[in-house]
Amino acid sequence: MKKYAIIFGGNSYEHEISVVSAITIKKILKKDTIFIFCDANHNFYQIDEKNMKAKYFASKEYKKSDELSLKKGGFYKKALLKEKKTDFDILINLIHGKDGEDGTISSLLDFYDIKYIGPRSEGCVISYNKEFTKLYAKSKGVDTLPYEILNKHDKRETKFDYPIIIKPLRLGSSIGLSVVESESDLEYSLDVAFEFDDDVLIEPYHNNIKEYNLAGIYTKDGFVFSMIEEPKKEGLLDFDKKYLDFSRSQATNQASLSEDISEKIQENFKRIYKDIFKGAIVRCDFFEKEGCIYLNEINPVPGSLANYLFDDFNEIIEKISQNLPNNRKISVDYKYINSINAAKGK
């Protein structure tokens, strides 16, 4: 039976969401599991399961836990005479935002040859930057809403009619996001967004557009999809609502939508996922208007890995753990250098 490790925390505006997400997954993951906390200073700690409570981290009690170091093949903690490797087979990346979704952790895990469930660096680069997401979607034949990018040094104006929505370019969980109803509110909303990023993405805001969420994985037998959810919300999902959303552990209900729309959403998901997200449980959020599907965003590390969208989340973990991409091993034999030296008589 495989043993799993959950890594969570990180140096991110979404740090606390990651803690909540890890506490939630502890309740639903029926696997032999250990918990590895990455604090804001990038120190690693092995957290006893009984201490997986929000207060344990907020009070800094976690510093009493065993500190770990990341090395070839895994995480290690100090023992009496030598370091001892932490026992797990596969790690699950549950760090939201910076560190977890920007490619930092995935690069470290690949470098140190650790098997993990989560996005690889290439997928992180595409999904972390909202403009890159738009460009990537377009290259795959997936539509997105029109947009513009504004830097904090640019003139504060927009080409779109109001209302508009403003999002920091490299953040999730609705942090720094706002809907601007008129030009008089633009300055303040940009000030808020620029607190979190030097660049923002601006889109038209549609009150009457439908939103659907779909999660999935890719295995040797093809795609495995979750149910399609239509988020129930009153207006915009702000940070506080999404904070609570990340603690969800109860299954949601399948959205009531036509077979045609359902197939379009799944086809768009396939186009987004197939080439660069293998090994990850991904949730894509789509808009639908008048039968047309638009990608809103890619969530390469969704809150609690979107457990609530799957009938059997533990089965999903098992399936993807059997279908992780392998790092290509390159043999370095110095044949080229040796041949040059031989030619020079050295």
Q: What is the pLDDT of residues 248-260, one digit of tens each?
A: 656 777 888 999 9
Q: In this structure, are 12 and 108 located in the same domain?
A: yes
| Res. 234: pLDDT tops 80 | no
**Total number of domains in the chain:** 3
pTM metric for this prediction: 0.91
Does 131 lie in the same domain as 255? yes
Structural contact between residues 62 and 71, judged by C-beta atoms closer than 8 angstroms: no
For residues 174-186, one letter each, b for 16 or more C-beta atoms within 10 angstroms of the residue's C-beta and e for the rest, the string is bbbbbebeeeebb
In this predicted structure, the answer to whether residue 130 has a pLDDT above a threshold of 90 is: yes
Q: What is the CATH number of the domain that holds 161?
A: 3.30.1490.20
Q: What is the pLDDT of residue 246?
A: 57
Backbone angles phi, psi at 45, to 5 degrees: -135, 140
In terms of residue numbers, what domain contains 40?
Answer: 3-119
Inform me whether the pLDDT recorded for 216 exceeds 60: yes
Element (H, E) at 222: strand 222-225
241, pLDDT greater than 60: no
8 and 31 fall within a common domain = yes
Q: Note the pLDDT of residue 79.
A: 78
User: Above 70 in pLDDT, residue 247?
Assistant: no
Q: Are residues 152 and 109 in the same domain?
A: no
DSSP category for residue 285: E
Residues 186 and 275 in one domain: no
C-beta separation of 279 from 327 below 8 A: no
pLDDT tens per residue across span 164-185: 999 999 987 678 899 999 999 9
Do residues 80 and 111 share a domain? yes
H helix runs in the chain, sequence order: 15-28, 54-58, 104-111, 121-128, 130-139, 186-194, 239-245, 259-273, 313-321, 335-343
- The fraction of the chain above a pLDDT of 70, given in percent, is 94
Region 79-98 average pLDDT: 92
Whether the CB-CB separation of 113 and 327 falls below 8 Å is answered with: yes
pLDDT at 207 (0 to 100): 83
| Per-residue b or e along 50-59, where b marks 16 or more CB atoms closer than 10 Å to that residue's CB | ebbeeebbee
H/E segment holding residue 84:
strand 83-85
CATH number of the CATH domain containing 63: 3.40.50.20
Determine what percent of the chain is predicted with pLDDT higher than 90. 80
pLDDT band for position 157 (cuts 50, 70, 90): very high
pLDDT digits (tens, 9 = 90+) for 34-81: 999 999 999 999 999 999 999 999 999 999 999 999 999 999 998 777
Report whether pLDDT(83) > 70: yes
Cβ 202 vs Cβ 151: under 8 Å: no
Residue 245's pLDDT band (cuts 50, 70, 90): low
Q: Looking at residue 278, what is its pLDDT?
A: 95
Indicate if 18 and 65 belong to the same structural domain: yes
H/E element holding 33? strand 32-38
- Could you give the CA distance from residue 160 to residue 155 in angstroms, rounded to a whole number? 14
